[in-house]
A and B are shown apart, each in its own frame.
Chain A
């Protein structure tokens, strides 16, 4: 009877997760290369020129995907952190740690490409628009998480402190977002809205989806590679690491 129950915790041990991650990395790397290659080709050569925004609009194929990923990764990170806190599983906490730099990178790229897009379209690098401001605050939240974890020497304490911070952050994100939005409308600061307004062409939509899937695959591959490094670093004194093929030591 008990053998029929799926063992959800099978891969929660670093020793079983490490080889699984190693097997998954090539697949996601290949997917990322193919999807991003196709997506970039489509965004440069297939997608038509926008009649209003000209060629400059093509940056949104990178921008929108990275912005989506930046928000999504924070939620995933908080979910892993929460799992680690509840079930006390080490791999969950390591996943949260591994996700943070990738999320911060996507947030930064989203802000950067947004600025590059804003210059030709709005005539300014930066406006205090609600979305831009919340994205900036999201970057601060990522940096706070990374800074807290790197300030704590003891890994288990770093895991759990980071988990609490990530959960507090994820509760706060909606409050921050709506308060920033309200602040923005009251100030009447930016008259330009980020929303595209016009319905998007099918080719553009597909390009954007392919690019986003490519970013997904990239994020998964990179995070798994990073989590493998973290596992090796933390478990270097265990027998299974020393028995790995090739010898880590």
Chain B
């Protein structure tokens, strides 16, 4: 079973490496959105420090929504997805593999880029550390929850906007606990509680989201 999972991850990573620009587009979108806020709000450092966790988190949320469209679309277009549906291995396992590869390509770069953006906002070292940890816990959950939306909107016109409409309300807890942990750390309250909740959400979505996404794929491809 684990071999199947690894095979899917490896295959998706190879495919992604052949189209590196996709990955960079999402990363640059994240950087640009975060850099726009000071231009809109003003360069006052005290204000920026206050809004930094929320801005970085909202930008990460939007960037991961943008990336979702590609999760199943290419496999759907060339017919590989139908073969996966017919495979003897459980579909939810294959979905989990696809989501893992998708996160490595689109989520992990955001996590690695976040501290640089945090410095732009003059976050403290503690704040930066917690920001990276929460993104590390939160972005996989975003990819997992997003996979349900991506599977539901597969092949629909206007799928990209629709998937955001479906998924964004469901990701609100991730946003709240992710940004909340950083804020609590900066203000000296300690973000451990938030991080535990974030980890709990990740575990829950690891279990349930592949099942729901697999069911949604069966509906969409049928």
Contact = CB atoms under 8 A, between A and B. Distances in A.
A147 B156 CA distance: 11
A186 B187 CA distance: 12
Interface stretch (B31-39, B73-81, B84-92, B212-220): B212-220
B100 to A, nearest CB: 20
Contacts of B107: none
B201 interface: yes
B169 A144 contact: yes
B168 A140 contact: yes
Interface in A93-145: 137, 140-141, 143-144
Interface string B115-148: 0000000000000000000000000000000001
Interface string B172-187: 1100110010001000
B152 A161 contact: yes
A161 B220 contact: yes
A157 interface: yes
Interface residues of B, number: 28
Interface residues of A, number: 26
Contacts of B177: 179
Interface string B148-173: 10001100111100100110111011
Contacts of B222: 157
B62 to A, nearest CB: 15
A151 B168 contact: no
Contacts of A137: 169, 172
A50 B176 CA distance: 37
B197 A171 contact: no
Interface of B: 148, 152-153, 156-159, 162, 165-166, 168-170, 172-173, 176-177, 180, 184, 197, 201, 208, 212, 215-216, 219-220, 222
